[in-house]
Structure 1
Amino acid sequence: MFQDFVVARSDRLLRTAYLLTGDWGLAEDLLQESLTKAWFAWPRVDEPEPYVRRVLVTTYTSWWRRRWRAEVPSASLPDFPVRDDDAGERAELWRAVRGLPARQRAVIVLRFYEDLPVAEVAALLGCGTGTVKSQTAKALAKLRVNESIMKELRS
């Protein structure tokens, strides 16, 4: 049942949406729109979690393309919430991840936060495993500039 799925999985999906967007409000909007799309297809869905995750990433990519053409970035960023002692390093990591191109950001979030195998990330993004590997390598190369970021990725 769709309602049971939403209750059980919405927190994790919201965190994934936040890591993609970098903004809690946008993450909630992204998740809501993705769940609405999934609801319409629900009777035909065999595997709900991968399907909804793919809808989430596809919707994010569509938003990013629209925003890229329409909005001008702000010079100031909102404060990142601090929750523990190493929050500064974690905040630095996610600021750097948010600075990646949309495709690379999606690959990093799905591979390292969602801990999905390369083949599943490729299926979610609608590309080949080689593309996922190359996008991962490019993203990690950009993140390697800062050693504290690499330390956080390894942990």
Structure 2
Amino acid sequence: MGEDAEHGEFAAYVRARQRRFVRFAFLLTGDVHEAEDLVQSAFARVYRRWDSIHGSPDAYVRAAIVNEHRSWWRRTWRHREVVSSPLVGARDPEHVPDERDDALWRQVLALPRQQRAVLVLRFYEDLSEARTAEVLGCSVGTVKSHTSRALAALRGSMQEVER
């Protein structure tokens, strides 16, 4: 496949899947603009390896987003890039929690980042424990313990909110 065909294929993929990945990143970060930056960085990484990705690239992109998010947290500084590509034009995730979801959303955002990532992958992306462990680069046991702790924390905090 020629370079122009690969670029066209990648551009079509980005246009078709970008909003979904921005929503996914939004659930990880809690910030629309940070989610957009995260997805842009992940797509840049994926583009460099586009010709070597076989099958569905969704899992590869999802892992790139999670890994990029993890590396951003490890840095003591953050950089902001200017979005100049029409391919990275999504501004609003399709679902931003409304007032009804606000209390739960605040509690999810208050979870430690690894617990939040496990919940997003397990329940939003509907990945198995094994696949979640693979994406996060940890053991299945770690996924189980993070899930258990996160759900227990949410149950406890939501009971306090309801009182």
1:113 to 102, 121, 124: 124
Q: Which of 1, 5, 10 pairs up with 1:2?
A: 10
Name the residue aligned to 1:103.
Answer: 114
Q: What TM-score, normalized to structure 1? A: 0.79
Match of 1:39 among 15, 30, 47: 47
Shift of 1:9: 0.9
Q: Greater CA radius of gyration, 1 or 2? A: 2
Matched, 1:15 2:23: yes
User: Partners of 2:105 and 2:132 in 1: how far apart?
Assistant: 20
Q: Is residue 103–residue 158 contact of structure 2 (8 Å, CA) maintained in 1?
A: no
Structure 1's 106 and 32: CA in aligned 2 closer, same or farther, altered over 3 A? same
Q: Does 1:52 align with 2:68?
A: no
Aligned to 1:30: 38
Q: Secondary structure at the match of 2:156?
A: coil
Identify the residue that residue 123 of structure 1 maps to in structure 2: 134
Separation (CA, whole Å) in 2 of partners of 1:30 and 1:7 = 16
Give the letter for the 1:108 counterpart.
L
| TM-score where L is the length of structure 2 | 0.75
1:115 aligned counterpart, secondary structure = coil
Structure 1 position 21, deviation (Å): 0.7
> How far did residue 148 of structure 1 move?
6.5
Tell me which amino acid in the other structure corresponds to 1:56: I
CA contact (8 A) 1:110 1:116 kept: yes
- Is 1:146 matched with 2:157? yes
Extract structure 1 runs of 4+ deviating beyond 4 A: none
In structure 1, the partner of 2:105 is 94
CA distance in 1, matches of 2:74, 2:155: 26
Tell me the CA shift for residue 70 of structure 1: 5.2
**Which runs of no fewer than 5 residues in structure 2 stay unpaired?**
1-8, 79-94
Where structure 1 has 5 or more consecutive residues not aligned to the other structure, the ranges are 72-82, 150-155
Q: Percent identity?
A: 46
Between the two proteins, the alignment pairs up a number of residues equal to: 135
Q: Matched residues in 1 for 2:63 and 2:121: separation?
A: 10
Could you give the per-residue CA deviations for residues 100-133 of structure 1, whole angstroms, max 9, x where no partner exists? 1111111011111111111111111111111111
- CA deviations 1:57-84 (Å, max 9, x no partner) are 0101111222xx459xxxxxxxxxxx89
Contact 1:19–1:94 at 8 Å: present in 2 too?
Answer: no
